[in-house]
């Protein structure tokens, strides 16, 4: 009987040692797996942030260039139209010239109004700042979306079979009094 108990005790010790080894291996495997996912998420987040920042910069620069070019072109065209109209109107009479000049100024005013973001009557650096701020709002929204995706991935990892197996093995090891 004493031998049977001694054999049983040895088998229990052996099972506990095996459980500890398996639990340790599974915990190590899960830790490495989770660290890898964390590193990948960090890398993806950094890449996305860099891409968003570059995109915002390129968008703001392109918008600035487009706005300046369009404004300049519209202003020049409006001035040319106003000038040509003034010349033609001078031949026809000062009353017509006055009306055409007003039309040219109106076209220039419309062009300024389209690109004037702050209502000061001109297209200037403040208007570019406003356009940049609008770009930043878009970037923040993109970053929030990345955070939501990262949270979903983390939740999926928590639901994985590997994590469940590791938790089960750890619980068995803890219940048997084996700790690392």
- pTM greater than 0.95: no
pLDDT tens track for 79-131: 776 676 677 666 666 655 566 577 666 655 665 666 677 888 887 888 778 86
Q: What percent of the chain has pLDDT over 90?
A: 0
Q: What is the mean pLDDT of residues 155-172?
A: 74
Among 110, 82, 111, 109, which Cα is nearest to 98's? 82
> Would the pLDDT of 173 be above 60?
yes
| Confidence at 25, pLDDT banded by 50, 70, 90 | confident
Query: 66-74 contacts: CB < 8 A, separation 24 or more?
Result: 67/115, 67/123, 67/127, 67/128, 67/131, 68/123, 70/111, 70/115, 71/111, 71/112, 71/115, 71/123, 74/107, 74/108, 74/111
CA distance 43 to 88: 66
Would you place residue 153 in the very low, low, confident or very high pLDDT band (cuts 50, 70, 90)? Answer: confident
With H, G, I as helix, E, B as strand and everything else as coil, classify residue 177: coil
- Round to whole Å and give the CA distance between 122 and 128: 11
């Amino acid at each position: 009987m004493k031998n049977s108990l001694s054999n049983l005790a040895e088998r229990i010790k052996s099972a506990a040692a095996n459980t500890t080894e398996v639990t340790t291996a599974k915990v190590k495997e899960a830790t490495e797996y989770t660290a890898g996912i964390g590193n990948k998420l960090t890398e993806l987040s950094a890449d996305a942030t860099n891409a968003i920042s570059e995109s915002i910069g390129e968008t703001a620069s392109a918008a600035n260039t487009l706005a300046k070019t369009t404004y300049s072109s519209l202003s020049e065209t409006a001035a040319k139209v106003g000038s040509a109209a003034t010349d033609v109107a001078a031949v026809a009479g000062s009353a017509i010239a006055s009306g055409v000049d007003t039309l040219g100024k109106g076209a220039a005013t419309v062009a300024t109004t389209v690109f004037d973001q702050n209502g000061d009557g001109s297209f200037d650096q403040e208007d570019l700042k406003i356009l940049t701020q609008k770009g930043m709002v878009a970037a923040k929204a993109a970053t929030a979306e990345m955070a939501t995706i990262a949270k979903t991935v983390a939740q999926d990892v928590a639901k994985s079979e590997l994590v469940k197996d590791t938790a089960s093995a750890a619980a068995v090891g803890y219940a048997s009094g084996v700790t690392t």
